Amino acid sequence: MMFFAFGVFVPASAILTRYLRRFPLSGPKLWFFPVHLLLNVFALAFFLVGFTIAIFISGDEQFQSAHKRIGLVLAILFLLQAMGGLTMALIHNRYPTQRRDHPFIDRPHWLLGWTILLLGFVNIPLGLYIPGGTTHGFQSSKTVHVLAFVWLGLLCIGIAVTEGMYRWSSRHGNDNWRNPAGAAALQEEKSTNANSVGNGRSRTSGHVVE
């Protein structure tokens, strides 16, 4: 349960929000937000179920290992992140704006989200090495370990490569990657200014002819 929460749904949500929404498909409708919300709902549900099961299984040895302590921290951060995300959604829905840059209120949400992702990546391997823990019931625990590490490695490589593309594109003036709404507003302003200049030249030309 925990693996799906922090190894699938949380990374998918983070990658979607930071990178995939930059493509023109997002447009003004912000298509990514419902998907982002759904992924986080699944992540939170899987995490809460897994966390509850872990508490019952641990018995008197609750929070005696690094894995369990990190899990407790993740539980607190996850709930704070969920409340913060809902608050941001209500604010943005109540006060919609066409902005060129992201408001400051978004930044703590991003920082907390990536912190949760990092802690989740650290905690998954720790959980795999708990005797009778995550790998209990599988025929070959080594296979599970290898698959888990390969998957996490691929995710890290994918995020690193995409982050590099994101930063390279940003340096070269592609605002669609950084802020599609802001890029659209800037493009509209440029178009309006160009039309104004064109109309002014037309009127000037007409005056000269007369």
Q: Which CATH number fits domain 2-209: 1.10.3470, 3.30.2320, 2.60.120, 1.20.120?
A: 1.20.120
SS (H, E, C) the chain: CHHHHHHHHHHHHHHHHHCHHHCCCCHHHCCHHHHHHHHHHHHHHHHHHHHHHHHHHHHHHCCCCHHHHHHHHHHHHHHHHHHHHHHHHHHHHHCCCCCCCCCCCHHHHHHHHHHHHHHHHHHHHHHHCCCCCCCCCCCCHHHHHHHHHHHHHHHHHHHHHHHHHHHHHHHCCCHHHHCHHHHHHHHHHHHHHHHHHHHHHHHHHHHHHC
Task: Please indicate, yes or no, whether the overall pTM of this predicted structure exceeds 0.75.
Answer: no
pLDDT at 110: 82
At residue 23, φ and ψ (nearest 5 deg) are: -75, 155
In this prediction, residue 190 carries a pLDDT of 54
Task: Give me the residue spans of the domains in the chain.
Answer: 2-209
**Band (94; pLDDT cuts 50, 70, 90):** low
Specify the pLDDT at position 99.
52
- Express each pLDDT in 125-169 by its tens digit: 887 776 544 444 444 467 777 888 898 899 889 888 888 877 777
Residue with more model confidence, 97 or 32 = 32
Q: What percent of the chain has pLDDT over 70?
A: 60
